[in-house]
Amino acid sequence: TATLGVLGGGQLGRMFVHAAQAMGYRCIVLDPDADSPAGAVAEKHIKADYLDSLGLAQLARDCDAITTEFENVPAVALETLANMRVVAPSGAAVAVCQDRAVEKAHFEAAGVPCAPHAVITNDIELAAVDPSLLPGILKTSRMGYDGKGQVRVSTPAELAAAWADLKRVPCVLEQLLPLRRELSVLVARGADGQVVNWPVQQNLHRGGILAVTEVPAPDVPAEVDRLAVAAARQVADALNYVGVLCIEFFWLTDGRLVVNEMAPRPHNSGHWTMNGCNVSQFELQVRALAGLPLPEPRQHSASVMLNLLGDLWFSEAGGPTPPAWDRVLALPGTHLHLYGKSDARHGRKMGHLNITADSPEAAHAVAQQAAAMLGLPTDF
């Protein structure tokens, strides 16, 4: 049997491992955390740091092909592994996604518009910021996720104070845009350049964290749909990308579509594909890595995904307890996915609930009922 390796042991790695095992692969996960969700289900868990040369050597020795589930894995680790084994996506592609300034330059080079922005790495750039970018969001260029490392600022003084609070690390200031909706597109690209895509997804964030994804995205005009898919494919081609890639978009109140950011891996907004589509994002990540054909995804059910954050475990007084799932699972078309994380914390992604139905209206109605039962907001 062939063996696939994964850098990173979070829930994305776990769902990748499940998909790979279903296709007969053995999996090895490299992650320093002894309790990692993916390490617990893989055939082998190498508990080492991403830059540990012995760990990487062991992974290269025992695997035929290696991927990552974590976009902040050092790109040099992927490049080292690529000297010995098939690695997808490449360290170079992941490196672009790790730095917002580089990522935005890549979008512009690929002909895809993004938010007006300025790069801030020193006092001269700080002083030179065009006031038309305010109010804006100051974001650290590297390592941010789930809205971490972001500060909203309205005046030059607030901007200067926020940058000082962020320890003057390299940042990007983005103009705060009037969002109508947030959308994302997942593509899978093979080493031969073949690209397939899933339908446009609509995402609702709460507090910077994805909360709800709906597919099909309601009320998206055909032209916006076409632009989003074309932009995602263009970005993947320009990166010579291999694997599953997610592009996040802002659909603005004036009707324009701009790209927000991308993730070089399966994405939380694509979890609905596990139940609503003939092929999941994790299966295509396995196929792209293994050099197997990529079928065009076909959505067979209208879908809503509700993220299950650790907060739900604290809804009752006392210690953390999982919600009673039985009532929710009695609703039609509900599919529960839990990531095997033992310690629930506020804001921590513990699992997700997929709801599938024959029509978008029916999926939405059941999702509303499920959210109400779980004590989640029904603001979608």
Q: How far is the CB of 148 from Mg ion (least distance, A)?
A: 9
176 is in an annotated binding site: yes
Rounded Cα distance between 60 and 67, Å, is: 11
Rounded Cα distance between 16 and 19, Å, is: 5
174 is in an annotated binding site: yes
Spatial CA neighbour of 214 closest among 97, 347, 324, 371: 371
Q: What part of residues 63-102 is at the interface with Mg ion (CB under 5 A)?
A: none
> How far is residue 31 from each of residues 5, 26, 299, 360, measured CA to CA in Å?
11, 16, 33, 39
**Contact call for residues 209 and 293 (beta carbons, < 8 A):** no
Q: How far is the CB of 378 from Mg ion (least distance, A)?
A: 23
Rounded Cα distance between 154 and 134, Å, is: 5
User: Which residues of this chain interact with ligand ATP, rule CB under 6 A?
Assistant: 115, 137, 139, 144-148, 174, 176-177, 179, 182, 205, 208, 248, 260-261
Q: Which is nearer to Mg ion, 28 or 262 (CB)?
A: 262
Amino acid symbol at 12: L
100 is in an annotated binding site: yes
Stretch that binds Mg ion, among 40-48, 175-183, 260-268, 335-343 (CB under 5 A): 260-268
Place of tokens 């979890």: 271
Q: Which is nearer to Mg ion, 239 or 363 (CB)?
A: 239
145 is in an annotated binding site: yes
Q: Is 253 left (phi over 0), alpha (psi -120 to 50) or beta?
A: alpha
Q: How far is the CB of 14 from ligand ATP (least distance, A)?
A: 18
Q: Which is nearer to ligand ATP, 44 or 205 (CB)?
A: 205
Q: Which does 205 bind (CB under 5 to 8 A by kind): ligand ATP, Mg ion, none?
A: ligand ATP
147 is in an annotated binding site: yes
Chain-centre distance for alpha carbon 5: 19
**Binding-site annotation, residues for ATP:** 100, 139, 144-150, 174-177, 182, 205, 260-261
Query: Binding residues for Mg ion, per CB under 5 A?
Result: 248, 261
